[in-house]
Amino acid sequence: MARAGRIEISEQVQGETVTLSIEGELDLSTIPMVERQVDASVGGSEASELNLDLSDVSFMDSSGLRLLIELCKRAQQEGWRISLTAPRHEAATLVLRMTGADTALPFVQAPPP
């Protein structure tokens, strides 16, 4: 299935903070797009903080979660800060609650119960 239209990423830069707002479904097929965008935003730029705004992510599966964990790990290794804005949709928060990621990952506001 062509998934090109299933995700949209917008970038906002404020000082050293880059905010990537993701809209759509975060799964195996859309992850590469997010990875590329993160590389473009963080790699080689002046940005020292990345905020991934997941408010409008409508679905997330285990591979989407794995991406978040990987990015947090990478931020630690490469010396930049990362923060996550929690999704509002149940289909996206479920995997976070199920795996304990809601408390373990640096969410700036806790996802709704």
Partner 1 sequence: MIVLVSADVTELILDRAHSAVISMDEHGVVSYWNPSAERTFGIPSEQAVGRTVAELIVPERLRTAHIAGLGRFLAEGKGRILDQRIELDALRADGSEFPVEVTVSALHGDDGWSFHAFVLDVSERRAAEQEREQLTEELRAALRGAQRRFDAIVGSLSDPVTIRSRDHRFVYANGAALDYLGFDSWERLRETPPSAIMNDYEVRGEDGREIAMDDIPSVRILRGEPAPPLLIRTVHRLSGEERWNLLKAAPLLDEQGEPEATIMIIEDVTVLRRAQLRSSFLAQAAETLASSLDYEQTLHNVAQLAVPRIADWCAVDLLDEDGDRRTVALAHMDPQQLAVAQELHAHLPERVDPTQALGRVLRTGESVLHPRIDDEMLVRTARDERHLQLLRALRLRSVLIVPMRLGARILGALTFGAESARLLDRHDVELAEQVAARAATAIENARLYSERSAIARTLQRSLLPERLPEMPGYELASMYVPARETSMVGGDFYDVWPLADAWMVAIGDMAGKGIEAAALTALVRHTLRAASEFDSSPAKLLALVDTTLKKRAQLSVCTALCLRVQAETVTMAVGGHPLPLCCSASGVRPLGGYGPLLGAFPDARWQEFSVRLRAGSSLVAYTDGVTDAQDAQERRFGAARLRDALAAHAGDSAAALMDGLAGALDAFQSGAHADDTAVLALRRSGGLGGEGEAPPARTLAHAPTIGSAA
Q: List interacting residues with partner 1 (CB under 8 A).
A: 1, 27-29, 59, 61-63, 65-66, 69-70, 73, 91, 95, 97-101, 104
Residue type, 27: D
CB of 51: closest distance to partner 1 in angstroms? Answer: 20
Start-end of H helices in the chain: 31-42, 62-78, 90-99, 101-104
Mapped onto helix, strand or coil, the DSSP state of residue 9 is strand
**CB neighbours of 37 closer than 8 A, spacing ≥ 6?**
9, 11, 20
CB of 43: closest distance to partner 1 in angstroms? Answer: 18
CB of 80: closest distance to partner 1 in angstroms? Answer: 17
| CB distance 80 to 74 below 8 Å | no
For partner 1, give the closer residue by CB, 42 or 65.
65
With tokens 């990423």, the residue in question is: 9
For partner 1, give the closer residue by CB, 17 or 94.
94
For partner 1, give the closer residue by CB, 50 or 95.
95
For partner 1, give the closer residue by CB, 19 or 83.
83
CB of 99: closest distance to partner 1 in angstroms? Answer: 3
CA distance 59 to 95: 9
